[in-house]
Structure 1
Amino acid sequence: MADEVEWQSSMASLQSQEAFSEPYMVGFVIANIVGLQYYSGRINGREMVGLVREPLNPYDENAIKVVNTRAVQVGHIERAAAAVLSPLIDTRTIVVEGIVPNSRSGSNRFKIPCQIHVFASLEAFSQVKSAILRGGLVLIPDSDTSFGLSEAVVVKEQMGERQNKSVDQIFKLVDKNVRKKEKMEAVDPPREVIKSKLFVHQKEGLGWLLRRENSEELPPFWEGKDGEFINVLTNYRTDKQPEPLRGGVFADDMGLGKTLTLLSLIAFDKHGNPSSSMPDEEPLDPGVDNTGKKGKKRGRGKSNASGTRKKHKPDGFGVGVAEKTTLVVCPPSVFSAWVTQLEEHTVPGSLKVYMYHGGERTNDVNELKKYDIVLTTYSTLAVEEAREDSPAKKMEWRRIILDEAHIIKNANAQQSRAVSNLKARCRWAVTGTPIQNGSFDLFSLMAFLRFEPFSIKSYWRSLIQRPLSQGNKKGLSRLQVLMATISLRRTKNKELIGLPPKTVETRYVELSPEERQIYDHMEGEAKDVVQNLVNTGSLMRNYSTVLSIILRLRQLCDDVALCPPELRSFSTSSAIEDVSDKPELLQKLVAVLQDGEDFDCPICISPPTDFIITRCAHIFCRVCILKTLQRTNPCCPLCRGPLTQSDLYSAPQEASNTDGDTKTASPKSSKALALLSLLLESRQEDPNTKSVVFSQFRKLLLLLEEPLKAAGFTILRLDGSMTARKRTQVIGEFGNPDLKGPVVLLASLKACGTGINLTAASRVYLFEPWWNPAVEEQAMDRVHRIGQAQEVKVVRLITRDSIEERVLELQQKKKKLASEAFRRRPGKDQREVNVEDVLALMSI
């Protein structure tokens, strides 16, 4: 299966590149876990524990709660230690991990000593050591003779100590197990429900999905011994058998027909499955092939006195379980895709579907149980997260399918927590791009899948993230084993589904003399500002400042009209750091920033839905910053400066005629002229060619409308400001075969990056490069997917001698991790934009 799970391109190793901002161990401190009597969680000696910040704890704003490998709370870190560590955690200066020493005193059953290992970037070591010393804690660095007392794996490995079984030996054993199960079995769907013929790769994918859902094995990294079950990675022990991992990551490349495969899976709920011919008492495990014949049994299944187990009766599911109802969670733009796929591929009336979306959705759980499929959105579930009476939360689903699952890449976002907390027998994360910015994107998928111990952040950091980010080849090999254990990944190729070819061409655009003068002036000032931040060691503290500077340079590459004159300078008079007494400029700035689609809130690490800029010029979601201000001593999460609601500014509301003053009869920017030239050239070749122009800037799409219409093109627009219904209408109109002539769809990457089908087009133009190559791939594959009959040509427009060329280099670094996560070769992780990236982007 190795060739099936490889990503598209062959990338060289990143082993030699080192991002100096990645965290390394500073040392460890010893602090007590207290309050054990109030919580049900239990821990053993030499067991890893999760340390989780609780900034909204009503009793202590510095609270750090402690959880065991099952995510059950054990207690809290004692107040004195938490007061020192929490400010450093909140500003992302450090990350912490905990482990309970092997030998503990039993004299006090209300507290347990814990070794808290502290990690920071190399440049922050002195700051961290000083803060810990001032706080009265004793830091034990690697130069201290007591350092060898640490129970952490990283320390044991560093000191050359042999453990009973090393972490990497454990991963190798799991990998060996996975390789034994690599054979794919093709399964046909029930014809009573599915009327379309599946490709071979879809039938094999269906077999894989069914096999995992019917598993009765222990989850990976668990062993049974003498009536106990042990997680060999964390040393957690329990007498209750953990549930099988029924689900995983369905990561087939975009456009390979994952939705049809999933509908085929759901169809078996109504008309049996390939294993239904087996007796009810037979164990269902991956050793049973899809014809109903028993194969070699693998793993240890939980059994009753007779050594058998009932089918479909996992622990926690009894009376009232919605055995036949599948919840599909997707972005609003994908709703129409699921409806279309149901109409195209299923027998009419064979599956009952309910749209759990909008103001008139039901509040009755029993109503939802009547349906085979319930379709909802991430935002709907996020809104209901705080509602105890939410029927989606009360429901015990047969399975949950997260379509475009990379949307929950930030585990802290409300929508991520909402889907992770739902109850279900089987869980599927479905995405063609599981890794977009770095390996940490996968953590939220682990949390949703409840794949212990990787579903707890500190374990993920310790076992996967840190070795990766420090260039340790063990980190990548562990990630590869992990992905092979829980995911299926096949990429598009001509032999697999017979798609027409796709070519990607880069066209470089020269700026006009006037544009060049403005750009060079701004880039020169920007370099000075960033260099000054580097020299004073405050670059990451001014992270949003730097990103706003970079964003304005990128806007100038597209069209100087995107960046108003008053924001075309980073000099002292109007620099973002010196606007505390200029609320009008702050409002103007946030209006410009929110036009882009790649700016994340530093609190939830998601694109803000409602931008707020603070007096200290940091940008957050309105909900996130208002929640932060509920603290006893409210302050800015980034600079820790005092902050009140009167220090927050939002962009002024757009006037109803906003679009009017942005339209112009002829393109003015060099890049717009280059696009027009390419479109005219394409029209000459074939007057009926349909094209899609992608940009991250809505204002740019508006600027392009009139000049393209004046040149004789039929224009449609699709952007994030439109309602789901309006988007569906535009997509339908674009795909209408009766719409003849040269048609151009001006599309926002955010509105089109997921789920929709644009195979009516055969030309794609990317107006500017995106930080994240996976987002560009998603956009291209809205056109290049099953159903495409023509050769697809993609043109990327890049401004010569500009920041855009350096964004391309950053993309290559991100692609390397994505390509190697499913391989077996050394590599290295990358965060979205770290210090090294910023310096490279600014050519410093």
Structure 2
Amino acid sequence: MQFKPFKPPTLLKHRNTLNADQPPLKKRRISSEDVPQEPAVNGYEPPALTSTPKPTKTFRAPLVTVKEPASQPIAGSQNDTGGVEGYYNVLWRKFTTKKNKTWDGDGILSVCGGYATLQDISGREMGRTACKSPLLPGSTLSVAGKDIEIDSVITREEFTAGRPFLGNSSSKPIVIEQTSEAKPSMKARVKQEKLEATQSVPRPTPSLPKATKAAFKNPMLHNTVQQKVDSKVPVPRHDPLVEGALIMKRPKTVPKGKQLVDVVVDPILSKHLREHQRAGVSFLYECVMGMRGYDGEGAILADEMGLGKTLQTIALIWTLLKQNPVYEEAPVIKKALIVCPVTLIDNWRKEFRKWLGNERIGVLVAKDNKTRFTDFTMGKAYNVMIIGYEKLRNVQQDLQKGAGIDIVIADEGHRLKTAQNKSAMAIKSLNTERRIILSGTPIQNDLSEFYTMVDFVNPGLLSKYSTFKREFETPILKMRQPEATDKDREKGEARSEELHAITGRFILRRTADILSKYLPPKTEYVLFCRPTKAQADVYHAILGNPIFNAALNNAETSLQLINVLKKVCNSPSLLHKKAKDDSSISTTSSLVSDLASVIPKTPSASSKLQVLDTLLHNIRSTTSEKVVLVSNYTSTLDILSNLLSALDYKYLRLDGQTPAAKRQDLVDRFNRTPASACFVFLLSAKAGGTGLNLIGASRLVLFDIDWNPATDLQAMGRIHRDGQKRPCYIYRLLTKGALDEKIFQRQVTKQGLADSVVDNKAGAASFSRDELRDLFSLDERRECQTHELLGCACGGTRTAEVVVDDDEDGDARRDCGVQADKPIFVEEDEEEDDLPETPFLKASQYDWRAAEKAIEDEKARKRAEASEGKGKMLSLMQYSHIDAALLRAEKAAQKQSGQADEGAVDASVLEMAVEDEALRAALLEDESRLDFIFAKNSS
């Protein structure tokens, strides 16, 4: 084959019609607008651009500048220290050489201060490494031998609040950039399809052809038939248009083919509900129906005593038993179980009978072994069962039969405060999702108990306890320490706010202040009784005994010493009874045996008994009112009963040994009978201090004090309840300077410190040796130690019309008001004469540096007091501070001057200090052992 000879390619050049010395032609522009014409070069002029049609000028909206907040880094931001800061959701796995690698789990990566810290989803730290470069989704790095891949970015607020560590976290990752529309995942599409299937969306009517629109001249084909509309309109069980109707919230979704109907509370109940009770019923309904935006169907009704938690619960149960928001569906529940202390079983039964009668609802009361539980689980006659906590543990298997329990109400549910509580485990075994706790004193002092209550009503909402303790309890506790850094405080406050935001969806808390317009006023007095000489001698003998000093090194024996000193505060004669009953060899019995010669055998050696004797006498002789006398100990109740018998006062007694069947009868008899037939009701705070309605009495004496403030608050709430007609007076007796006063100080501190992690009952065992010595000391000074700890300079003459506020620097300003600088019994003109003259200085003589230093020193002193716990009892500034010795001195001065008759004193002054006439008379006795009083009126 012959090939053509090779011929090199010809290099073609564009033909230029211009001369060689002319410049090349330029590209033609689209538009010549705002473009200057090129000047002629060497006689060449560019071609005119006007021959090209001028395009239409288009406009577009300007770009919107999106700025991320400084606290929400996208892929890493510079912090104050100059390092990169960022927080990310990551995937992690252990280092492996396998070809097909899989991820071991999810985690959280926090980059701060030049280091990247890896945590698992429970908050446990897995390792850290140096990291000074910003990270983006898809970035990889190695931390502590683990391979990490960044999945998404989370905001700083979400990480600080601890949301990524909760299983129900609602935080959404920040999308860095999306170039195209992201397709939803398979899981999201399935979830959306299920949601659409549950919604009732009416099908659109098929469009008719043009020929059909003209009076339907064409035949009715299958595609031209109009959709049939159900003419049946849902009708609520009760009229929602009637005045005062209480209508529940409608759900957002409805099953396909169903209709919604209004749920209206039965008017037989709603007409008796007050405004706060109507709000409570609506709140509980939304919780158990899953409308509050959290994963669960439980709730905690934490209203204070006397707000009608029982009535609200009955209204909820009756509504759920009879109605359903889905039309023509069965009621929401069929069986309801109420678990309560055995003392409240009859009270619940009477409340159901009071509001609903016997013919509307079947209530089965499980009080004895004769109860047939199949009548409740299998039958249809009973819809509600009332049972005690102890009884429930034995019959939980019987209650699991049949269709099961639909809702459980745990009254006084603060006793379910440990995960190992047998009653809580019995309720959980019923597999009931709808659980409600009723408690007038929710446990907020101890976050571990708070977690247990929350996990009981909504399991898993706060993740596992180990995670909760690491990510919430520990940061909140660390925040409250005086040595906490700014970072610790920021983290603790964020975790506290997040915890409140989560639990606030299903916890409803109202105080008794809203009852001020429904109930008569209530006045609380804290009476500091000066110990007798016999009490002081026994106290000093115990503190000086070698056995006492040896016992300080052991936590168990320290608790025994606390119990011994509490008995001395009540009455030293209780030690003889203790030694007689305790046949075993122990530290306390040995200590009591050594001091047998010092301990008096008569109860009259107690200062609190002397004050109680005088107070009861004044109440009995000047009024027709009855008294509830409360104690935490059966042995103390024995001494009180002997005192009442000696004074010939008729009384009833309810303690742990009282049969459950007779307890409600005792309460009813006391409420019905006059003071002449039954003057005093002796009550054990442990056995009957919760839930009872003792409105037959208008005065209550709390003889001793408990470490747990909830116990005392529950006991003091027995008389100020619905149905009370008289003004109520509550007296708390404390032995001044002794253990009683120290316990009271810690009670007030616990109530004032929100989210404090101090165990109320085991707190005494956690004291250091120095704190124990201070706890056991006896202060015999005339001044009140608690009043001194407040830093109040009123001198025992403060009235309660004072507002406690904060100054600009945030330091608590405790002003005693107008009456702070002068005694309440001194005339105004006398006080004005004693005012010192104010010196005036020239401006050149004013030392502003010394003044500023004095201000800074005062602030430092206040901060030191707050760190030592002295500033934590500011709630006592709402009380009047009354030094009884000053009032008795004024009475003596008036007697000597002849301004008042014997036994009388200026009434206007004393009524401002102490309104109660019976207490006033006991206060002004010459031999009175009352030294100091805190008083607060609820009105």
The residue matched to 1:267 in structure 2 has which SS?
Answer: helix
Q: Does 1:515 align with 2:554?
A: no
The 1:514–1:207 alpha-carbon spacing in structure 2 relative to 1, beyond 3 Å, is same
The 1:46–1:588 alpha-carbon spacing in structure 2 relative to 1, beyond 3 Å, is farther
Corresponding position of 1:716:
652
Distance, in Å, in 2 between the alignment partners of 1:106 and 1:760 is 80
Structure 2 counterparts to residues 222-233 of structure 1, below 5 A: none
Distance, in Å, in 1 between the alignment partners of 2:537 and 2:372 is 59
Distance, in Å, in 1 between the alignment partners of 2:745 and 2:129 is 37
The residue matched to 1:396 in structure 2 has which SS?
Answer: coil
Q: Does 1:424 align with 2:432?
A: yes
Shift in Å at residue 261 of structure 1? 0.8
The 1:192–1:508 alpha-carbon spacing in structure 2 relative to 1, beyond 3 Å, is closer
Distance, in Å, in 2 between the alignment partners of 1:176 and 1:790 is 51
Structure 2 counterparts to residues 538-557 of structure 1, below 5 A: 542-557=554-569
Shift in Å at residue 331 of structure 1? 0.4
Q: 1:623-653, CA deviations, whole angstroms, 9 ceiling, x for partnerless residues?
A: xxxxxxxxxxxxxxxxxxxxxxxxxxxxxxx
Q: 1:456-484, CA deviations, whole angstroms, 9 ceiling, x for partnerless residues?
A: 32233123322222223334223322331
The residue matched to 2:641 in structure 1 has which SS?
Answer: helix
Corresponding position of 1:843:
774
Corresponding position of 1:506:
526
The structure number with the bigger radius of gyration is: 2
8 Å Cα contact 1:503/1:794 also seen in 2: yes
Distance, in Å, in 1 between the alignment partners of 2:602 and 2:577 is 22
The 1:500–1:563 alpha-carbon spacing in structure 2 relative to 1, beyond 3 Å, is same
Match of 2:729 among 790, 793, 799: 793
The 1:167–1:486 alpha-carbon spacing in structure 2 relative to 1, beyond 3 Å, is farther
The 1:361–1:528 alpha-carbon spacing in structure 2 relative to 1, beyond 3 Å, is same
Q: 1:343-398, CA deviations, whole angstroms, 9 ceiling, x for partnerless residues?
A: 2211331110012332122252644654221111111122346xxx4324765212
Corresponding position of 1:682:
619
Q: 1:477-534, CA deviations, whole angstroms, 9 ceiling, x for partnerless residues?
A: 233223312211111125665211211111111222122111122134499637852x
Matched residue type, 1:422? L
Percent identity, aligned pairs only, is: 24
Corresponding position of 2:457:
449
Report which stretch shifted further, 452-461 or 762-771: 452-461
Corresponding position of 2:358:
348
The 1:707–1:532 alpha-carbon spacing in structure 2 relative to 1, beyond 3 Å, is closer
8 Å Cα contact 1:335/1:375 also seen in 2: yes
Corresponding position of 2:368:
358
Report which stretch shifted further, 725-734 or 790-799: 725-734
Corresponding position of 2:315:
264
8 Å Cα contact 1:665/1:706 also seen in 2: no
Corresponding position of 1:585:
585
The 1:517–1:587 alpha-carbon spacing in structure 2 relative to 1, beyond 3 Å, is closer
Corresponding position of 1:434:
442
Distance, in Å, in 2 between the alignment partners of 1:692 and 1:334 is 18
Q: Please give the root-mean-square deviation of Cα atoms over the aligned residues, in Å.
A: 4.5
8 Å Cα contact 2:572/2:603 also seen in 1: no
Shift in Å at residue 265 of structure 1? 0.8
8 Å Cα contact 2:444/2:756 also seen in 1: no
The residue matched to 2:683 in structure 1 has which SS?
Answer: strand
8 Å Cα contact 1:752/1:782 also seen in 2: no
Corresponding position of 2:717:
781
Corresponding position of 1:141:
none
Q: 1:196-223, CA deviations, whole angstroms, 9 ceiling, x for partnerless residues?
A: 6111111111111112222267x63xxx
Report which stretch shifted further, 355-364 or 714-723: 355-364
8 Å Cα contact 2:246/2:265 also seen in 1: no
* Greater RCO (CA < 8 Å, at least 6 residues apart): 1
Shift in Å at residue 447 of structure 1? 2.7
The residue matched to 1:269 in structure 2 has which SS?
Answer: helix
Q: Does 1:214 align with 2:289?
A: yes
The 1:158–1:418 alpha-carbon spacing in structure 2 relative to 1, beyond 3 Å, is farther
Match of 2:757 among 804, 826, 829: 829
Q: Does 1:373 align with 2:363?
A: no
Q: Does 1:328 align with 2:328?
A: no
Which ranges in structure 2 are unaligned for 5 or more consecutive residues?
Answer: 1-87, 108-113, 136-152, 172-243, 249-263, 480-491, 593-600, 776-939
Structure 2 counterparts to residues 159-558 of structure 1, below 5 A: 164-165=154-155, 166-169=158-161, 187=247, 190-191=265-266, 194=269, 197-215=272-290, 220=294, 244-272=295-323, 276=325, 279=327, 323-364=333-374, 366-367=377-378, 370-384=381-395, 389-392=397-400, 396-435=404-443, 437-454=445-462, 456-471=464-479, 472-494=492-514, 498-525=518-545, 529=549, 533=553, 542-558=554-570
Distance, in Å, in 2 between the alignment partners of 1:258 and 1:202 is 8
The 1:458–1:361 alpha-carbon spacing in structure 2 relative to 1, beyond 3 Å, is farther
The 1:102–1:842 alpha-carbon spacing in structure 2 relative to 1, beyond 3 Å, is farther
8 Å Cα contact 1:333/1:727 also seen in 2: yes
Corresponding position of 1:634:
none
Q: 1:33-64, CA deviations, whole angstroms, 9 ceiling, x for partnerless residues?
A: xxxxxxxxxxxx999xxxxxxxxxxxxxxxxx
TM-score, reference length from structure 1: 0.58
The 1:758–1:529 alpha-carbon spacing in structure 2 relative to 1, beyond 3 Å, is same
Shift in Å at residue 703 of structure 1? 1.1
Corresponding position of 2:866:
none
Q: 1:644-674, CA deviations, whole angstroms, 9 ceiling, x for partnerless residues?
A: xxxxxxxxxxxxxxxxxxxx99744222111
8 Å Cα contact 1:171/1:481 also seen in 2: no
The 1:566–1:340 alpha-carbon spacing in structure 2 relative to 1, beyond 3 Å, is closer
Structure 2 counterparts to residues 547-626 of structure 1, below 5 A: 547-564=559-576, 584-586=584-586
The 1:467–1:516 alpha-carbon spacing in structure 2 relative to 1, beyond 3 Å, is same
Q: 1:82-126, CA deviations, whole angstroms, 9 ceiling, x for partnerless residues?
A: xxxxxxxxxxxxxxxxxx96558698x9xx99999xxxxxxxxxx
The 1:437–1:150 alpha-carbon spacing in structure 2 relative to 1, beyond 3 Å, is closer
Matched residue type, 1:463? E
Distance, in Å, in 2 between the alignment partners of 1:257 and 1:841 is 41
Distance, in Å, in 2 between the alignment partners of 1:158 and 1:501 is 61
Distance, in Å, in 1 between the alignment partners of 2:746 and 2:536 is 23
Distance, in Å, in 2 between the alignment partners of 1:106 and 1:376 is 61
Distance, in Å, in 2 between the alignment partners of 1:758 and 1:526 is 46
Q: Does 1:731 align with 2:806?
A: no
Distance, in Å, in 2 between the alignment partners of 1:811 and 1:101 is 47
Q: 1:426-448, CA deviations, whole angstroms, 9 ceiling, x for partnerless residues?
A: 11111111116422222221232
Distance, in Å, in 2 between the alignment partners of 1:760 and 1:566 is 34
TM-score, reference length from structure 2: 0.52
Matched residue type, 1:356? A
Which ranges in structure 1 are unaligned for 5 or more consecutive residues?
Answer: 1-44, 48-99, 117-144, 178-183, 221-243, 281-309, 314-322, 534-541, 569-581, 593-663, 821-826
The 1:401–1:424 alpha-carbon spacing in structure 2 relative to 1, beyond 3 Å, is same
Distance, in Å, in 2 between the alignment partners of 1:257 and 1:566 is 41
The 1:329–1:396 alpha-carbon spacing in structure 2 relative to 1, beyond 3 Å, is same
8 Å Cα contact 2:305/2:717 also seen in 1: yes
Q: What number of residue pairs does the alignment pair up?
A: 550
The 1:194–1:752 alpha-carbon spacing in structure 2 relative to 1, beyond 3 Å, is same
Distance, in Å, in 2 between the alignment partners of 1:158 and 1:254 is 51
Corresponding position of 2:640:
704
